[in-house]
Amino acid sequence: MSAATQGFNRRQPPAFVLQNFLASRTAAVNRALDGFLPPPTAKPATIHKAMRYSLFAGGKRMRPALCLAAAAACGGHEADAMPLACAVECIHTYSLVHDDLPAMDDDDYRRGKLTSHKVFGEGIAVLAGDALLTQAFEIAARCKGWPRYPHERIILELARAAGSLQLIAGQVADLEAEGRKISAKQLRYIHERKTSALLCCSVRLGGMSANCTPAQFQALTDFGYHVGLAFQVIDDILDMTQTSEQLGKTAGKDSAAQKATYPAIVGLEKSRRIAEELTGKAFAALDIFKGKAVALEALAEFLLKREK
Ligand code: GRG
């Protein structure tokens, strides 16, 4: 065997670099979203400008990244997962636009920019949120479906995560808990719905686009559930410990609004431990992928250590 061939045989697969993964996938998701949305000049231009304003304001694109990473872990093609990754990001952005409205969290900044209603007025911001939610289903409707996950199963997955038993239920419970003392169990109920449901849906859709096995689907569900809960605990910690400039949104809002959060109920140190434990459970769920879920592992670690 020649020296060159020996070198070839010994070559290791390239190390996974999360920064490169995130940069390339964010660019790909932005290109795909640009293609899915009506152009900003389409009439009525105001609504299309407003939809694009919030969608391209510089979000971290964590849900699309999780969706694409889950597809890869199951041996699928990211191109098949891309429309679903974009659909989830549209739903996520709609929820942020509506959450920032004066009738809800009343925030002036999001993703480092003025919120939609501050730029376009409340009426257009409500409609931009509505249009992004509807756009998500239009994008998802174009997916053909897969043998284990027919087309209607995909639409059902999105509808359930965004609906009145999950995302909206979490927001309702969150609104109703404001200024009241709630238990850790009630807080968990809010986090499961307000945050974890859509993150979990992202990885499940990625798996579905790879026609994943039932065992892989269960593993992705466990992973998404725990990563989603850890994400919210970290979000609450960051709200308390970071500045508005670092976060790109108003910091310290939770305590100002007397919101129930893990740091408020159990303190910062215990909250950090809870986030670590939840991330540990998310990692454990990935065992079934036998080292093929490198991107999901790296994302879970990144979400635990993030500073914004
Ligand atoms: C209005 C139906 C409706 C729901 C609103 C999104 C939401 C529910 C409330 C916003 C406040 C909040 C703490 C939501 C939990 C999910 C969360 C932490 C969102 C922020 O997600 P990031 O950090 O945001 O991924 P970017 O901007 O990076 O995409």
pLDDT at 180: 87
Is the preceding peptide bond at 44 cis, omega within 30 degrees of 0? yes
Single out the residue of 76, 75, 88, 79 nearest to residue 25, CA to CA: 79
Q: The pTM is what?
A: 0.93
The per-residue pLDDT for 2 is: 46
Which residue is it, tokens 């670099």? 17
User: pLDDT per residue over 151-160, tens digit each?
Assistant: 999 999 999 9
pLDDT value of position 162: 98
Q: What is the pLDDT of residue 270?
A: 95
- The closest residue, in CA terms, to atom 26 on ligand 1 is 59
- Give me the pLDDT at residue 246, please: 83
Residue nearest to atom 23 of ligand 1 (CA): 60
Lining ligand 1 with CB less than 6 A are 59-60, 62, 92, 95-96, 98-99, 111, 167-168, 171, 194-195, 232, 235
- Joined tokens for residue 291: 């080292």
pLDDT at 178: 86
Res 250: pLDDT:
80
Q: How far apart, in whole angstroms, are the C-alpha atoms of residue 236 and residue 247?
A: 12
Q: Residue length, the chain?
A: 308
With a cut of 50, list the residues of the chain below it in pLDDT: 1-5
286: DSSP letter = G
Find the 192 Cα to ligand 1 centroid distance in Å. Answer: 13
Ligand 1 atom closest to 239 (CA):
13
Task: Give pLDDT tens digits for 118-177.
Answer: 999 999 999 999 999 999 999 999 898 999 999 999 999 999 999 999 999 999 999 999
pLDDT at position 11 is: 66
